[in-house]
Structure 1
Protein backbone atom coordinates (compact mmCIF):
# COMPACT_ATOMS: atom_id res chain seq x y z
CA UNK A 1 0.00 0.00 0.00
CA UNK A 2 2.69 2.56 0.90
CA UNK A 3 5.22 3.09 -1.89
CA UNK A 4 7.43 5.62 -0.14
CA UNK A 5 7.45 8.31 2.52
CA UNK A 6 9.39 11.54 1.95
CA UNK A 7 11.04 13.72 4.57
CA UNK A 8 12.71 17.07 4.04
CA UNK A 9 16.35 17.54 4.96
CA UNK A 10 18.89 20.35 5.01
CA UNK A 11 21.95 18.41 3.85
CA UNK A 12 21.44 15.57 1.36
CA UNK A 13 24.85 13.98 1.86
CA UNK A 14 24.48 14.01 5.64
CA UNK A 15 20.94 12.59 5.45
CA UNK A 16 21.94 9.83 3.01
CA UNK A 17 24.88 8.88 5.22
CA UNK A 18 22.72 8.89 8.39
CA UNK A 19 19.93 6.72 6.96
CA UNK A 20 22.25 4.46 4.93
CA UNK A 21 24.22 3.59 8.05
CA UNK A 22 21.15 3.37 10.28
CA UNK A 23 19.08 1.15 7.98
CA UNK A 24 21.87 -1.06 6.64
CA UNK A 25 21.10 -3.74 9.26
CA UNK A 26 17.59 -4.00 7.77
CA UNK A 27 19.03 -4.54 4.30
CA UNK A 28 18.25 -1.01 3.09
CA UNK A 29 20.51 1.26 1.08
CA UNK A 30 20.21 4.18 -1.34
CA UNK A 31 18.59 2.57 -4.37
CA UNK A 32 17.78 5.69 -6.38
CA UNK A 33 19.64 9.01 -6.10
CA UNK A 34 18.39 11.92 -8.18
CA UNK A 35 20.38 14.84 -6.78
CA UNK A 36 17.74 16.63 -4.63
CA UNK A 37 15.94 13.40 -3.66
CA UNK A 38 17.21 9.93 -2.77
CA UNK A 39 15.22 6.77 -2.07
CA UNK A 40 16.36 4.20 0.49
CA UNK A 41 14.98 0.71 0.75
CA UNK A 42 15.47 -2.94 -0.04
CA UNK A 43 14.08 -2.71 -3.59
CA UNK A 44 11.85 -0.69 -5.85
CA UNK A 45 9.00 -3.14 -5.16
CA UNK A 46 9.04 -2.55 -1.37
CA UNK A 47 8.20 0.53 0.73
CA UNK A 48 10.96 3.16 0.67
CA UNK A 49 12.08 6.20 2.63
CA UNK A 50 12.95 9.25 0.53
CA UNK A 51 15.07 12.14 1.78
CA UNK A 52 14.91 15.36 -0.17
CA UNK A 53 15.67 19.04 -0.27
CA UNK A 54 12.18 20.63 -0.42
CA UNK A 55 11.03 21.46 -3.95
CA UNK A 56 10.53 25.12 -3.02
CA UNK A 57 14.10 25.14 -1.61
CA UNK A 58 12.76 26.47 1.71
CA UNK A 59 13.69 25.08 5.09
CA UNK A 60 12.38 21.57 5.75
CA UNK A 61 9.79 21.72 8.52
CA UNK A 62 9.10 18.46 10.39
CA UNK A 63 5.40 18.24 11.12
CA UNK A 64 4.00 18.14 14.64
CA UNK A 65 2.37 14.73 14.90
CA UNK A 66 3.98 13.33 11.75
CA UNK A 67 6.18 10.29 12.29
CA UNK A 68 7.72 7.50 10.26
CA UNK A 69 7.50 4.04 11.87
CA UNK A 70 9.89 1.36 10.66
CA UNK A 71 9.29 -2.26 11.59
CA UNK A 72 12.05 -4.32 13.14
CA UNK A 73 12.25 -8.11 13.41
CA UNK A 74 12.69 -8.20 17.22
CA UNK A 75 12.80 -6.15 20.42
CA UNK A 76 16.56 -6.56 20.43
CA UNK A 77 16.77 -5.05 16.93
CA UNK A 78 14.55 -2.13 18.04
CA UNK A 79 17.00 -1.47 20.87
CA UNK A 80 20.01 -1.80 18.57
CA UNK A 81 18.63 0.50 15.88
CA UNK A 82 17.50 3.11 18.42
CA UNK A 83 20.97 3.25 20.00
CA UNK A 84 22.56 3.37 16.57
CA UNK A 85 20.34 6.34 15.62
CA UNK A 86 21.41 8.19 18.78
CA UNK A 87 25.10 7.42 18.13
CA UNK A 88 24.74 8.78 14.57
CA UNK A 89 23.44 12.13 15.82
CA UNK A 90 19.75 11.47 16.44
CA UNK A 91 18.06 12.64 19.65
CA UNK A 92 15.82 10.70 22.03
CA UNK A 93 12.03 11.00 21.78
CA UNK A 94 11.30 7.88 23.84
CA UNK A 95 13.69 5.13 24.87
CA UNK A 96 13.00 1.53 23.84
CA UNK A 97 10.26 -0.15 25.83
CA UNK A 98 7.00 -2.02 25.91
CA UNK A 99 4.22 0.44 25.10
CA UNK A 100 1.23 -1.90 25.00
CA UNK A 101 1.66 -5.05 27.12
CA UNK A 102 2.43 -8.12 24.97
CA UNK A 103 1.55 -6.16 21.85
CA UNK A 104 3.76 -3.19 20.89
CA UNK A 105 7.42 -2.53 21.67
CA UNK A 106 8.95 0.66 20.31
CA UNK A 107 11.60 3.36 20.48
CA UNK A 108 11.43 6.93 19.19
CA UNK A 109 14.05 9.41 18.00
CA UNK A 110 14.47 12.53 15.89
CA UNK A 111 16.96 12.53 13.04
CA UNK A 112 19.48 15.40 12.70
CA UNK A 113 16.86 17.43 10.76
CA UNK A 114 14.19 16.97 13.45
CA UNK A 115 12.07 14.32 11.70
CA UNK A 116 10.46 11.92 14.20
CA UNK A 117 11.05 8.23 13.56
CA UNK A 118 10.10 5.06 15.45
CA UNK A 119 11.40 1.52 15.31
CA UNK A 120 8.84 -1.01 16.50
CA UNK A 121 7.78 -4.64 16.66
CA UNK A 122 4.31 -6.07 17.29
CA UNK A 123 3.95 -9.11 19.51
Structure 2
Protein backbone atom coordinates (compact mmCIF):
# COMPACT_ATOMS: atom_id res chain seq x y z
CA UNK A 1 0.00 0.00 0.00
CA UNK A 2 2.75 2.51 0.89
CA UNK A 3 5.66 3.45 -1.30
CA UNK A 4 7.64 5.17 1.46
CA UNK A 5 7.57 6.86 4.84
CA UNK A 6 9.40 10.16 5.44
CA UNK A 7 9.79 11.92 8.78
CA UNK A 8 11.40 15.23 9.65
CA UNK A 9 14.70 15.82 11.37
CA UNK A 10 16.54 18.83 12.73
CA UNK A 11 19.94 17.10 12.53
CA UNK A 12 20.42 15.14 9.33
CA UNK A 13 23.80 13.67 10.27
CA UNK A 14 22.64 12.56 13.73
CA UNK A 15 19.57 10.90 12.20
CA UNK A 16 21.69 9.24 9.52
CA UNK A 17 24.00 7.70 12.12
CA UNK A 18 21.04 6.61 14.30
CA UNK A 19 19.06 4.98 11.49
CA UNK A 20 22.15 3.44 9.84
CA UNK A 21 22.64 1.47 13.08
CA UNK A 22 18.98 0.71 13.77
CA UNK A 23 17.91 -0.21 10.23
CA UNK A 24 20.98 -2.41 9.69
CA UNK A 25 19.19 -4.87 12.00
CA UNK A 26 16.53 -5.40 9.31
CA UNK A 27 18.99 -5.53 6.41
CA UNK A 28 19.11 -1.91 5.24
CA UNK A 29 22.40 -0.68 3.86
CA UNK A 30 23.69 2.72 5.09
CA UNK A 31 21.43 5.60 4.09
CA UNK A 32 21.92 7.49 0.85
CA UNK A 33 22.12 11.26 1.29
CA UNK A 34 20.27 13.40 -1.24
CA UNK A 35 20.67 17.12 -0.40
CA UNK A 36 18.53 17.52 2.74
CA UNK A 37 17.27 13.92 2.97
CA UNK A 38 18.56 10.44 3.71
CA UNK A 39 16.97 7.29 2.22
CA UNK A 40 17.16 3.65 3.36
CA UNK A 41 15.70 0.76 1.40
CA UNK A 42 14.99 -2.74 2.69
CA UNK A 43 12.46 -5.49 2.13
CA UNK A 44 10.69 -3.61 -0.67
CA UNK A 45 10.13 -0.40 1.34
CA UNK A 46 11.76 2.99 1.63
CA UNK A 47 12.22 5.01 4.82
CA UNK A 48 13.57 8.55 4.81
CA UNK A 49 14.39 11.46 7.09
CA UNK A 50 14.32 14.99 5.76
CA UNK A 51 15.08 18.47 6.90
CA UNK A 52 11.84 20.38 6.26
CA UNK A 53 11.84 22.07 2.86
CA UNK A 54 10.00 25.11 4.25
CA UNK A 55 12.93 25.94 6.54
CA UNK A 56 10.85 25.55 9.71
CA UNK A 57 11.93 23.19 12.52
CA UNK A 58 10.95 19.54 12.17
CA UNK A 59 8.43 18.42 14.78
CA UNK A 60 7.21 14.97 15.71
CA UNK A 61 3.64 13.94 15.03
CA UNK A 62 1.61 13.66 18.22
CA UNK A 63 -0.23 10.35 17.96
CA UNK A 64 1.93 9.12 15.06
CA UNK A 65 3.91 5.88 15.00
CA UNK A 66 6.13 4.46 12.28
CA UNK A 67 6.15 0.66 12.45
CA UNK A 68 8.79 -1.65 10.99
CA UNK A 69 8.08 -5.35 10.31
CA UNK A 70 10.38 -7.72 12.17
CA UNK A 71 11.24 -11.28 11.11
CA UNK A 72 11.26 -12.59 14.70
CA UNK A 73 10.96 -11.52 18.34
CA UNK A 74 14.77 -11.71 18.54
CA UNK A 75 15.10 -9.26 15.65
CA UNK A 76 12.68 -6.90 17.42
CA UNK A 77 14.86 -7.10 20.54
CA UNK A 78 17.97 -6.32 18.46
CA UNK A 79 16.16 -3.43 16.73
CA UNK A 80 15.20 -1.96 20.11
CA UNK A 81 18.67 -2.51 21.60
CA UNK A 82 20.35 -0.82 18.60
CA UNK A 83 18.03 2.17 18.98
CA UNK A 84 18.75 2.58 22.69
CA UNK A 85 22.50 2.12 22.15
CA UNK A 86 22.51 4.91 19.55
CA UNK A 87 20.54 7.59 21.38
CA UNK A 88 16.95 6.37 21.20
CA UNK A 89 14.71 6.42 24.27
CA UNK A 90 12.74 3.36 25.38
CA UNK A 91 9.03 4.08 25.80
CA UNK A 92 5.92 2.16 26.83
CA UNK A 93 6.37 -1.41 28.07
CA UNK A 94 9.63 -3.30 27.50
CA UNK A 95 9.78 -5.33 24.26
CA UNK A 96 7.47 -8.30 24.51
CA UNK A 97 4.28 -10.09 23.55
CA UNK A 98 1.01 -8.16 23.64
CA UNK A 99 -2.55 -9.35 23.24
CA UNK A 100 -2.38 -12.86 24.67
CA UNK A 101 -1.98 -16.10 22.71
CA UNK A 102 -1.23 -15.49 19.05
CA UNK A 103 -0.64 -11.81 19.79
CA UNK A 104 2.07 -9.49 18.54
CA UNK A 105 5.64 -9.01 19.68
CA UNK A 106 6.29 -5.26 19.95
CA UNK A 107 9.01 -2.83 20.90
CA UNK A 108 8.74 0.95 21.04
CA UNK A 109 11.24 3.80 21.24
CA UNK A 110 11.63 7.43 20.32
CA UNK A 111 14.33 8.43 17.86
CA UNK A 112 16.63 11.44 18.50
CA UNK A 113 13.99 13.80 17.05
CA UNK A 114 11.24 12.35 19.26
CA UNK A 115 9.42 10.28 16.61
CA UNK A 116 7.69 7.18 17.96
CA UNK A 117 9.06 4.05 16.28
CA UNK A 118 7.77 0.49 16.62
CA UNK A 119 9.26 -2.89 15.75
CA UNK A 120 6.48 -5.44 15.23
CA UNK A 121 6.65 -9.20 14.79
CA UNK A 122 3.41 -10.86 13.72
CA UNK A 123 3.58 -14.66 14.01
CA UNK A 124 2.29 -16.68 11.08
CA UNK A 125 -1.26 -17.89 11.41
CA UNK A 126 -1.47 -21.50 12.52
TM-score past 0.5 threshold: yes
Deviation at 1:42, TM superposition (A): 2.4
**1:84 maps to what in 2?**
82
Please give the secondary structure, in 1, of the residue aligned with 2:91.
strand
Q: Which runs of 5+ in 1 are unaligned?
A: none
Structure whose residues are more often strand by fraction: 1
Alignment counterpart, residue 48 of structure 2, candidates 50, 54, 60: 50
Question: C-alpha separation between the residues in 2 aligned to 1:53 and 1:28?
Answer: 21
Deviation at 1:47, TM superposition (A): 1.2
Aligned CA RMSD, in angstroms, stands at 1.4
Deviation at 1:36, TM superposition (A): 0.3
Counterpart contact for 2:25–2:78, Cα < 8 Å: no
Aligned length: 121
Q: How do 1:88-107 and structure 2 match up within 5 A?
A: 88-94=86-92, 95-101=94-100, 102-107=102-107
TM-score normalised by L of structure 2:
0.89
Extract structure 1 runs of 4+ deviating beyond 4 A: none
Counterpart contact for 1:30–1:38, Cα < 8 Å: no
Please give the secondary structure, in 1, of the residue aligned with 2:25.
helix
Question: C-alpha separation between the residues in 1 aligned to 2:19 and 2:47?
Answer: 9
TM-score normalised by L of structure 1:
0.91
